[in-house]
Structure 1
Amino acid sequence: MSSPATPPAPPARARYWATWFFGGLALWLATVVVTYRTGNSNLVPTIVLLGSFLVPASFVVWAHERYGADIGTDRITACFAAGGLMGVLGASLLEYYLLSDSVWVYAGVGLIEEAVKAWALVMLTRRIPASGLRHGLVLGATVGFGFAAFETAGYAFNAVLTEQGLSLRDLVSTEILRGVLAPVGHGLWTAILGGVLFRERRNNRFVLTPTVLLTYLGVSALHALWDSSHGIAAWIVSRVTEPGRNRPALDLGFLPHPTENQVWLFTVLSTTALALVAWVGLLWLLWLVRSARRAGHPTGPQPPYDPARPPTPPGWGGPPRRLPPPGR
């Protein structure tokens, strides 16, 4: 008597994000080494582009293949490239005309940048039949990471230009630091706001509810605290170590002629502030996902689009609906 046939194993889930990240990292390191050895300044733009887009793009690929496989790659690409560019252009214009140097400048930056990223997300996704927390998290994070990539490219370009000429060390250190911090910055904040925007969406229309407004103000506050962490740390150090001297509040992150102890205290305080802001953002994201699970909505990795498969709920909190294949 023959034994029953063993059912075929399910196909392994592709992990393109790992190929993208480690392949891109190898190319970036090779470009840095070759530039250092040869002094060929023509390779500097390659370092800027590879280093700026490596981590944000890798996270977008990971989120898409794991939680947004039913979202077309054309939408992901548009949200990353067009959304990120629309965000940095809109933020640059608004900050130029609306902000001036003051104690509250970082609050204005947070409000403006989170608003333009949300606007870009709404403009690029307003016609697609998607709703629910999961779709919002993936698409929001994609816009946020696109914004972060273009912004990092600008910071890297400024870092490489010094009075002594091109500084490869400043360029590399800037890209490493911003790459490490990228997952808990723009991508996280816009993912949270995007998730709530899509969760509150009704009949394929975005709705400005009190929950959406409070979420926007909350992520803007996290953004402002993140940007002002250095200034707050410098102000605390000046008050603790030199209480008799009158310094302006939030001295733009600078301590004139700092001592070794002041530098150490400033580093500890600014790093702790960044860690706390990141921790709050991650807890907020985790709370959103767990709330959706308690409500009984699907939360696991999503299969790619298959016309033969019956529709499944695409979002954490949205009605059962399947997106059309890319290009429609």
Structure 2
Amino acid sequence: MKPWLKIFLTGLALWAAAVIVTLWTDNINLIPTVVLLGSFLVPVTFVVWAFAQARTSEVTVELLFKAFLIGGILGVLGASILESYLRPSLVMYLGVGLIEEGVKLAALMLITRHLRVRTIRDGMVLGATVGFGFAAFESAGYAFTSMFTRDGLSIGQMVETEVLRGILAPVGHGLWTAIIGGALFAAGGRLAGKVILTYLGVSVLHALWDSMSGIAIAVTLVLTGQPWQFQLLRIGKVPGVTNSQVHLYTALEWGGLIVISLGALFWARSLSRSER
């Protein structure tokens, strides 16, 4: 059995056991265990898989650990500080994309500044590791806050959040930063023009991903909107979708996420093949 698969299956079994025991005993002391296991399982699994794709001995377990832990923490801290200056607007999602991809790029450059040999594949592996570190800590935060509802703590809502973010994790932060890492190493670790263009392109993908729910609502209203929904828009409120619109909205949102993911995967594959 592949090491990454063994880690995933073992971690999944432990996470499921932690969820069951928490629900069975109502022991809230187990909540951090559930949050950490669920948030880190998929990112750590993909880092182990990525390690097998490295090309040179420069990519060590120690370096991967630094990239995941330091890159992830610096990323979420930097993004949190910078995003506090953003205000709700049409360009807010683009600002989030530029900030989060920017801090991950800075963290990657900091961690890999002493490397002597740089290949595109190694850059993608280390970039993905920084991205998955960011995703793990970010998911832990979302899972924790999703517990708090008007009716008290909701373990079920926390589990749903972890499952959804775990499913989407492979085509999110890890993939985006892998693309930037490949471009960075292709340029010898310097902020060359192609690296900046790659950073901007990935930031746009990130912004589209984050705003897909709003885009899906807008398209749904254009196609099937009702007068009362447009009246809410005129006074600055975003209307919800009706029961008859929810299927169209869901198809548009998930269809958009799939298109963005396929585009990023094709980009990463083309970048990896360019080294050959």
Aligned to 1:273: 256
Tell me the distance in 2 between the aligned counterparts of 1:232 and 1:248.
Answer: 14
- 1:145-204 Cα deviation digits (max 9, x unpaired): 000000000100111111111111111111011000000000000000000101111xxx
The two structures, once aligned, show a CA RMSD in angstroms of 1.7
**How many angstroms apart in 2 are the aligned matches of 1:66 and 1:106?**
32
SS in 2 for 1:31: helix
1:96 aligns with 2:79: no
Partner of 1:255: 239
What is residue 85 of structure 1 aligned with on the other side? 73
Unaligned runs of 5+ in 1: 1-13, 294-328
Distance 2:55 2:33 in 1: 30
What CA deviation, in whole Å up to 9, does each residue of 1:278-313 have, x standing for no partner? 0100010111122222xxxxxxxxxxxxxxxxxxxx
Q: What is the Cα deviation at residue 83 of structure 1?
A: 0.3
Q: Residue 16 of structure 1: CA displacement?
A: 2.1
Question: Shift in Å at residue 238 of structure 1?
Answer: 2.1
Say which SS state the counterpart of residue 116 (structure 2) adopts: coil
SS of alignment partner, residue 170 of structure 2: helix
Does the CA contact (< 8 Å) of 1:136 and 1:194 recur in 2? Answer: yes
How many angstroms apart in 1 are the aligned matches of 2:84 and 2:37?
Answer: 28
Separation in 2, partners of 1:118, 1:68: 21
- The CA distance in 2 between the partners of 1:291 and 1:215, in whole Å, is 15
Which amino acid letter does the alignment assign opposite residue 191 of structure 2?
A: L
Partner residue, 2:122? 135
Instruction: Give the CA deviation at 1:67.
Output: 2.6
1:8-47 deviation per Cα after TM superposition (whole angstroms, max 9, x unaligned): xxxxxx8321221111100000001111111111111110
TM-score (norm 1): 0.80
Query: Which has the higher Rg, Structure 1 or Structure 2?
Result: 1
Query: How far apart in 1 are the matches of 2:101 and 2:273?
Result: 24
Report the Cα offset of residue 69 of structure 1: 7.0
Q: Could you tell me how far 1:268 is from its partner in structure 2?
A: 0.6
How many corresponding residue pairs? 272
Deviation at 1:66, TM superposition (A): 3.6
**Residues of 2 paired with 1:163 and 1:88: CA distance?**
27
1:180 aligns with 2:163: no
The answer as to 2:130 corresponding to 1:152 is: no
Tell me if the contact between 1:156 and 1:174 (Cα under 8 Å) persists in the aligned partners: yes
Instruction: Using the TM superposition, give the Cα deviation of residue 235 of structure 1 relative to its aligned residue in structure 2, in angstroms.
Output: 1.4
Tell me the percent identity: 51
Task: Tell whether 2:198 aligns with 1:210.
Answer: no
The answer to whether the 8 A contact 1:111-1:220 is kept is yes
Task: Say which structure is richer in helix.
Answer: 2
TM-score normalized with structure 2 length? 0.94
Matched ranges for 1:1-328 at <5 A: 15-67=2-54, 70=57, 71-97=59-85, 99-201=86-188, 206-242=189-225, 244=227, 245-246=230-231, 248=233, 255-256=239-240, 258-293=241-276
Residues 182 and 248 of structure 1: CA distance in aligned 2, closer, same or farther (over 3 Å): same
List alignment gaps of at least 5 residues for structure 2. none
Q: 1: CA distance between counterparts of 2:56 and 2:139?
A: 27
SS at match of 2:99: helix
Question: In structure 1, how many angstroms separate the alpha carbons of the residues matched to 2:206 and 2:36?
Answer: 24
- 1:65-102: per-residue Cα shift (whole Å, max 9, x none)? 343572211100000011000000000000102x1000
Q: Tell me how far apart the structure 2 counterparts of residues 35 and 52 of structure 1 sit (CA, whole Å).
A: 16
Cα drift, residue 263 of structure 1? 1.1
Question: Does the CA-based 8 Å contact 1:238-1:255 persist in structure 2?
Answer: no
Note if contact 2:56-2:122 (Cα within 8 Å) is conserved in structure 1: no
Answer yes or no: is the 8 Å Cα contact 1:94–1:112 preserved in 2: yes
Deviations 1:123-160 (A, max 9, x none): 11101223120110000000000000000001001111
Show the counterpart of 1:309.
none
**Corresponding residue for residue 300 of structure 1:** none
C-alpha contact (below 8 Å) 1:78/1:124 kept by paired residues:
yes
Deviation sequence 1:227-277 (CA, Å, 0-9, x none): 00001111111222226424549x89x633x32121111111100010010
CA contact (8 A) 1:63 1:138 kept: yes
